[in-house]
Amino acid sequence: MTSRGCNKLIKDGAYIISEIKDLHEIFKLDNKRNDNFDGETHVSLFNDPCKYKVFSFIKKKPSNVDEIVNETGIEVVKLYKILFELENLNIIESSGGNFYRAKVV
């Protein structure tokens, strides 16, 4: 019965993530990355109040996930999706230890 924990995760709907495209499929993201903060990035950011709130907070100072949750009130699971999307837009980056910082100002 050494696989009880793994079996429970599978039963509960866990995903297997072995490459970046798995995350794109799970979160239903397209695979393109912006290398610049262009008009399309503006539209994506400003049309989503949660993304905008998270980005606005992070651009003030590098912040960890707990600080972002406390400041924005966004639940952790949703926040990780937003952080992934903002990283995919190439406007924030993870700087280790669950800290994120803005790449553009």
The matching CATH number, chosen from 1.10.1660.10, 1.10.10.10, 2.70.70.10, 3.40.50.10800, for 32-102 is 1.10.10.10
Residue 31 pLDDT more than 60?
A: no
Strand (E) or helix (H) holding 102 = strand 99-102
65 C-beta neighbours (distance < 10 Å), count: 15
d(CA 74, CA 71): 8
Paired with 94 in beta bridges are: 100
pLDDT in tens, 73-96: 999 999 999 999 898 888 899 887
- Distance, in Å, from the CA atom of 86 to the CA atom of 27, rounded to the nearest integer, reads 13
Q: Position 33: which residue type?
A: R
Tens digits of residue pLDDT in 40-79:
555 666 788 999 899 999 999 999 999 999 999 999 999 9
